[in-house]
Amino acid sequence: MDRARAVEVLIVSLGSTSGLRVADEELRGSLERAGARVALERAGRPRELRTLMLTDLAWARAARAAAVRGLREHRPLAVIYSTITAALLWPVPGAIYFDVIAAVNRRGRHGLWQRPLERARLRAAPLLLPQSEAGLIGTPQTRAPDRALVLPVPVEPSGPLAAERDIAAITYAANPETKGLDRVLRAWAGVRRGSEELLVAGASEAELRRAGITIAGPGVRLAGRLPAEQYRALLRRSRAFVCAPTREGYGIAQLEALVDGCMLVTTRAAGPYVALSIARELDPRLVGEDLAAALRTALDDPAPGYSERAREALAPFRRGALDAIVAERLLPRLLPSA
């Protein structure tokens, strides 16, 4: 290996959501703590388009441009494409870091061109890096674990568990259609009592209006887009985090809510949805299709020790656990001559 080389690993980051950006920064940090020299090139955000097929194409082109730029500037020894979309038009093969594949979340006409190309990229990638075991389902590596390594996204507490919580419920509304915000609002309207309040964070009024959703009525307040520190501070004040996703990739927002002491009230969803099994173990009454009843149960009859047990369950998702995987298992595969 050329010791004069400034960068050993290039991460091509799609960064289309805050969750993806968090995951990429955590991966970069873990690689650097393991001793690797890392560069992260983020795709430029394309303009909004009308269909998922066109949106994916625009993002894939933006990721290719970022990859070409990073390869030219850094000449890395290894490349990690963050998300399947980032890898679809890759200029050179590399490892793929992802939560869910297009065959799962781009069904029917929404993934007509993505799915065939995805299969080719999954076969050609030297290493697959799913964020969960469930993320491997449907890939060529499902039965070839030697070509795959699970890298969970680390979730750290943002502060100590609060003894008193003055917000009844909170929800995260980025991508409100897939997050089921309309179902959350209907459930809340049916069960809210007295001065209880639901906070809606993660999306602006204009974004919700474009999705056909209006925040109105008593007991609902739009917090909008917030810096991470302010949003996590609201989690520490909230008793319940509620969502009704139709499909879910990794689900970083739910894991953040759990580690900050919120009870997770959720419906089932297609996709890996890492927090779902944890939520069932913590209190199965809060997981199911009757969102209104689950919400009322969380607020009226919380399971003893829920927050403390949630933090224990999330121990495998702490930063130290990822650092061990990266140092002991990922870097030797990415940089075998290092």
The pLDDT of residue 3 is 45
The pLDDT of residue 147 is 86
Could you tell me the domains of the chain?
9-154+318-334 (3.40.50.2000), 167-316 (3.40.50.2000)
The pLDDT of residue 140 is 65
The pLDDT of residue 87 is 96
AA letter at 136: L
Q: What is the rounded CA–CA span in Å between residue 295 and residue 289?
A: 11
The pLDDT of residue 145 is 60
The pLDDT of residue 6 is 83
Q: What is the rounded CA–CA span in Å between residue 313 and residue 336?
A: 33
AA letter at 174: A
Cα diameter, the chain? 67
Average pLDDT of span 250-277: 95
SS3 of residue 321 by DSSP: helix
How does pLDDT run across 317-333, given as a tens digit for each residue? 999 999 999 999 999 99
Q: Rounded mean pLDDT of the chain?
A: 92
Q: What is the rounded CA–CA span in Å between residue 241 and residue 168?
A: 9
Please enumerate in sequence order all residues whose Cβ is within 8 A of that of 131, keeping only pairs 6 or more positions apart, or say none.
23, 97, 98, 99, 150, 151, 152, 153, 249, 250, 272, 274
* Per-residue pLDDT at 221 exceeds 50: yes
Q: What is the rounded CA–CA span in Å between residue 234 and residue 113?
A: 41
Q: Dihedral of CA 25/26/31/34: which sign?
A: positive
* Per-residue pLDDT at 266 exceeds 80: yes
Q: What is the rounded CA–CA span in Å between residue 142 and residue 97?
A: 15
Work out the pLDDT band at 265, boundaries 50, 70, 90: very high
Work out the pLDDT band at 41, boundaries 50, 70, 90: very high
AA letter at 286: L
The pLDDT of residue 153 is 95
The pLDDT of residue 114 is 87
Work out the pLDDT band at 49, boundaries 50, 70, 90: confident
CB 170 within 8 A of CB 240: yes
